[in-house]
Amino acid sequence: MTDTSTTSPLVEIRNLSFARGNRMIFDGIDMDIERGKVTAIMGPSGTGKTTLLRLIGGQISPLTGTIKVDGIEVTKLNRSALFQLRKRMGMLFQNGALLTDMNVYDNIAFPIREHTQLSENMIRTLVTMKLEVVGLRGARDLMPSELSGGMARRVAMARAIALDPMMMMYDEPFTGQDPISMGVLVRLIRELNDALDLSSIVVSHDIEEASSIADTIFLLSGGKVVAQGSAEALRESGSEWAQQFMNGLPDGPVPFHYPAIDYAEDLLSAGNK
């Protein structure tokens, strides 16, 4: 690896636009995601945080702009090159997305079996190591339906790191978790990042949890990056935007009301019907 590839950002997004129907999800955003760091992407629901992960993973294509992962332009890859790149990416889906017809062990062994010719003994050792990392070695024989939401996410994490990726993407990892499993997930994300020398992208709207582990936070809204920096910097920033989001204020630059016609006019028109 050359010097430039280790110092350049892991993910470089330039002038990215993406639309769903007539609705602009991203409108020319730029973003650099540093290597070795935990980067949080935050914003109100429906701002396209998950869409951003799917764009980085090459599951969907942008309208305009470029996305480079480890110096490779994702949007220009053919399917097999994209699959090669994805082997180096791990992704945790919101509900784990475990394969429900296999037990925990087989779920973690799944990517290893598909991509390598390792012996069953070797696979067992690898799976056991990954399970130990997430603290679920004892749950090896359980089926996904027997796991709690938090456990399912931990198994999915073990599966995502099965091939030792260079980066991990977490899609809303804290949603719907009790405080204990939330704490476990927060700790795991940070520990995995540091111990395995990963780079992590965490998409979330849980301010407390995300800001406790993130080195950098990007705040998204209305298709733009409205603020970026460390959690402290954002809390202290003068941006009304950052203030509203970080402090959870009901009204501000993000309006409480969904765009609508004038209230009085709306009431009167209902009366006329």
Partner 1 sequence: MLNFIQQLGQSGISFFERLGRAHILFAQIVAGVPSMLTRFQLVIQQMYSVGVLSLLIILVSGLFVGMVLGLQGYNTLVDFGAEEALGVMVSLSLVRELGPVVAALLFAGRAGSALTAEIGLMKATEQLSAMEMMAIDPIGRVLTPRFLAGFISMPLLAALFSAVGVMGGAFVGSGLLGVDEGAYWSQMQASVDLYDDILNGVIKSIVFGVVVTWIALFEGYDAIPTSEGVSRATTRTVVHSSLAILGLDFILTAIMF
User: Within 157-186, which residues bind partner 1 (CB under 8 A)?
Assistant: 159, 163
DSSP output for 143-184: -GGGS-HHHHHHHHHHHHTTT--SEEEEESTTTT--HHHHHH
**Structure-derived torsion over alpha carbons of residues 54, 58, 63, 64, reported in degrees to the nearest 10:** 120
89 touches partner 1 (CB under 8 A): yes
d(CA 15, CA 26): 9
Give least dist CB 189 to partner 1, A.
17
Among 10, 98, 147, 203, binds partner 1 (CB under 8 A): 98
Show the binding pattern over residues 64-83: x = contacts partner 1 (CB under 8 A), - = does not.
Answer: -------------------x
* 3-class DSSP state of 235: helix
How much is the CA Rg of the chain, to the nearest whole Å?
A: 21
Select the residue interacting with partner 1 from 37, 87, 140, 224 (CB under 8 A).
Answer: 87
Binding status of residue 86 toward partner 1 by CB under 8 A: yes
Q: Which two tokens stand for residue 243?
A: 């203030």
CB closer to partner 1, 98 vs 231 = 98
- Give yes or no for residue 23 binding partner 1 (CB under 8 A): no
When the beta carbons of 17 and 110 are compared against partner 1, the nearer one is 110
Largest CA distance in the chain: 76
- Interaction pattern, residues 31-70, with partner 1; x per rule: CB under 8 A: --------------------------x-x-----------
Would you count residue 100 as binding partner 1 (CB under 8 A)?
yes
User: Other C-beta atoms within 10 Å of 184: how many?
Assistant: 18
What would the two tokens of residue 20 be? 């769903």
**Contacting residues toward partner 1, per CB under 8 A:** 57, 59, 83-84, 86-87, 89, 91, 93-95, 97-100, 110-111, 114-115, 156, 159, 163
